[in-house]
């Protein structure tokens, strides 16, 4: 059996968001994989909250792409995200951990 690493749970690629003349997020890219603990650090006004709002489809990016659970945020993904936040762990992560623990070394 060939082990395939998991797909990223969150993919942010080249995201940009402006509000008038203020560029809140400028060319941000990162991936978050199942099982990772991820945080965003920065001073006030660095774009942390705006990036999270882009991930949740509260704001739309001016440029770049946002994918959560493999695609654009929709009601099904929004429900899955809320479940993950409430439970502290996703079904996808549990599934990946099962595959990982049974894969050959």
Per-residue pLDDT at 70: 83
Per-residue pLDDT at 27: 95
pLDDT per residue as tens, the chain (105 positions): 677 778 898 999 999 999 999 999 999 999 999 888 888 999 999 999 999 989 888 899 999 999 988 887 777 776 766 666 555 555 444 444 444 444 454
Per-residue pLDDT at 57: 85
**Residue 80, C-beta contacts closer than 8 angstroms, at least 6 positions apart:** 69, 90, 91, 92
Task: Quote helix, strand, coil % in the chain, to nearest 5.
Answer: 30, 25, 40
């Amino acid at each position: 059996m060939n082990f395939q690493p998991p797909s990223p749970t969150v993919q942010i690629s080249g995201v940009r968001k402006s509000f008038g003349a203020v560029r809140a997020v400028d060319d941000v890219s990162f991936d978050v994989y199942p099982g990772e603990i991820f945080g965003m650090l920065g001073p006030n006004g660095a774009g942390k909250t705006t990036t999270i709002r882009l991930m949740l489809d509260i704001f739309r990016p001016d440029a770049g792409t946002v994918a959560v659970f493999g695609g654009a945020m929709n009601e099904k993904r929004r429900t899955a995200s809320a479940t993950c936040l409430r439970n502290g762990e996703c079904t996808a992560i549990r599934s990946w951990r099962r595959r990982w623990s049974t894969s050959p070394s």
